[in-house]
């Protein structure tokens, strides 16, 4: 059997949710990753250091309940704050200094799940950006404009031109991660930008283009935001992820919603890939003849950008075909079942993480 041993990876973008869903999904992330950047788009959103601290405790408690101390102590949730126009920059700075907060997330209002409290006017957050720039705290960006007259497939490219480029020009020292990039425009912009600009790439945007959402009928499980784009963009993302360029790193954007919320008249955006994340990335890197670059993408570029130490443990992937279940049933421990459809449901992947 062929195996591939790499330094233990981190997930630089994940949604762990709260309550029964947290209990159901957090173990999958903690099994594969040593650390993860936990997104703050709960309802209500995490906007203070105090809220991030108690959310972190709930994550650790959920892991302890699911897998005992070993699972909980082997995983570090890296917390983020949800940027609003009224957020307190002094609280963010304290949270960063105290090691509670790792980064701040910018959602343009209305761009995605639970983003109504996000930013409408970029000019209103100048004081926060000045603080982040001064203290070296990363700004993580959902890069889509929300204007209804902009075609949904153009929202990322227009955001780069109208919002991101001017923002970086005003704050040249700000550390920025353009999250879950989906276009060749984003790849080019990040690649040619300064060293303080990087991007995460999801497994699903490496696997699917926009045709997949409509293949044989409407496929709600492949609907996420930013929505998958044309094939030429997927190919640009695969080239970027497997290039060895340190500006691109792993961020799954695993975003679980219960099956009934996905398969409904107005289905939620989000793809739940955490249970098969590494397997999914490994399939891409193998197809691109770049398995020797998986470790850098998954385990080195992210910590170097964030200024954090590399993990010391390893994980071994085995080249054994595994069929991904059509459905997963999480349990919150109190008997409440959560039904989820994982990414690659029903498909067979070539790699397995034992």
> Site residues for ligand DOR, window 41-60 (CB under 6 A)?
41
**CA 176 to the chain's CA centroid:** 14
In the bound state with ligand DOR, the residue whose beta carbon lies nearer, of 42 and 72, is: 42
Residue choice 85, 91, 94, 113 for contact with ligand DOR (CB under 6 A):
113
**CA 114 to the chain's CA centroid:** 15
**How many CA atoms lie within 13 Å of 275's alpha carbon, on the beta-carbon side?**
21
Structure tokens at 349: 């992947």
Q: Applying CB under 6 A, does 23 fall inside the site for ligand DOR? A: no
Q: Which of 260, 276, 259 is nearest to 324 (CA)?
A: 276
225 binds, among Zn ion, ligand DOR, none (CB under 5 to 8 A by kind): ligand DOR
- Least CB distance from residue 309 to ligand DOR, whole Å? 28
Q: Applying CB under 6 A, does 112 fall inside the site for ligand DOR? A: yes
> Site residues for ligand DOR, window 235-264 (CB under 6 A)?
255
Q: Applying CB under 5 A, does 11 fall inside the site for Zn ion? A: no
Compute the distance between CA of residue 41 and CA of residue 15 in angstroms, rounded to an integer: 8
Q: Applying CB under 6 A, does 15 fall inside the site for ligand DOR? A: yes
In the bound state with Zn ion, the residue whose beta carbon lies nearer, of 30 and 71, is: 30
Q: State the helix-helix crossing angle for 231-241 and 184-192, rounded to 10 degrees.
A: 30
Residue choice 40, 108, 138, 270 for contact with ligand DOR (CB under 6 A):
270
- What residues contact 205, with CB distance under 8 A and at least 6 apart? 180, 181, 182, 228, 234, 237
Compute the distance between CA of residue 265 and CA of residue 271 in angstroms, rounded to an integer: 17
273 binds, among ligand DOR, Zn ion, none (CB under 5 to 8 A by kind): none
- Least CB distance from residue 270 to ligand DOR, whole Å? 3
Residue choice 10, 185, 221, 253 for contact with Zn ion (CB under 5 A):
253
Catalytic sites, residue numbers? 253
In the bound state with Zn ion, the residue whose beta carbon lies nearer, of 232 and 261, is: 261
In the bound state with ligand DOR, the residue whose beta carbon lies nearer, of 133 and 156, is: 156
Bridge-based pairing state of the strands 314-318 and 3-7: antiparallel
Compute the distance between CA of residue 333 and CA of residue 331 in angstroms, rounded to an integer: 5
Q: Applying CB under 6 A, does 142 fall inside the site for ligand DOR? A: yes
Q: Applying CB under 6 A, does 204 fall inside the site for ligand DOR? A: no
- What residues contact 270, with CB distance under 8 A and at least 6 apart? 15, 113, 223, 224, 225, 253, 255, 256, 257, 262
In the bound state with Zn ion, the residue whose beta carbon lies nearer, of 185 and 253, is: 253
Q: Applying CB under 5 A, does 93 fall inside the site for Zn ion? A: no
Residues 234, 208 contacting (CB under 8 angstroms): yes
Compute the distance between CA of residue 344 and CA of residue 324 in angstroms, rounded to an integer: 6
- Least CB distance from residue 352 to Zn ion, whole Å? 26
Chain residues binding Zn ion by CB under 5 A are 253
Chain residues binding ligand DOR by CB under 6 A are 15, 41, 112-113, 142, 224-225, 255, 269-270
């Amino acid at each position: 059997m062929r195996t591939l041993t790499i330094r233990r990876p981190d997930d630089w973008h994940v949604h762990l949710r709260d309550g029964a869903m947290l209990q159901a999904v957090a173990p999958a992330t903690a099994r594969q990753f040593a650390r993860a950047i936990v997104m703050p788009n709960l309802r209500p959103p995490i906007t203070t250091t105090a809220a991030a601290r108690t959310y972190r405790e709930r994550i650790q408690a959920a892991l302890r309940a699911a897998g005992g101390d070993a699972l909980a102590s082997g995983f570090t949730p890296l917390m983020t704050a949800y940027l609003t126009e009224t957020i307190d920059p002094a609280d963010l700075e304290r949270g960063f200094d105290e090691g509670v907060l790792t980064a701040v997330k910018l959602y343009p209002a209305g761009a995605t799940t639970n983003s109504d409290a996000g930013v409408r006017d970029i000019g209103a957050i100048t004081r926060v950006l000045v603080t982040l720039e001064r203290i070296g705290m990363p700004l993580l960006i959902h890069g889509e404009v929300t204007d209804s007259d902009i075609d949904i497939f153009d929202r990322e490219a227009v955001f780069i031109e109208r919002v991101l480029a001017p923002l970086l020009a005003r704050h040249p020292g700000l550390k920025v991660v353009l999250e879950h990039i989906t276009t060749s425009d984003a790849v080019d912009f990040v690649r040619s930008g300064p060293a303080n600009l990087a991007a995460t790439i999801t497994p699903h945007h490496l696997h699917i283009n926009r045709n997949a959402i409509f293949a044989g009928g409407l496929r709600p499980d492949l609907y996420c935001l930013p929505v998958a784009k044309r094939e030429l963009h997927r190919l640009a993302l695969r080239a970027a992820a497997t290039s060895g360029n340190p500006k691109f790193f792993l961020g799954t954007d695993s975003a679980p919603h219960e099956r009934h919320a996905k398969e409904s008249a107005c289905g939620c955006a989000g793809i739940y890939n955490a249970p098969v994340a590494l397997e999914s990335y490994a399939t891409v890197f193998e197809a691109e003849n770049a398995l020797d670059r998986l470790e850098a993408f998954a385990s080195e570029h992210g910590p170097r950008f964030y200024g954090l130490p590399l993990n010391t443990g390893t994980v071994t992937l085995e080249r054994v075909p595994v069929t991904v279940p059509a459905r997963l049933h999480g349990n919150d421990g109190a008997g409440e079942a959560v039904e989820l459809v994982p990414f690659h449901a029903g498909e067979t992947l070539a790699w397995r993480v034992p």
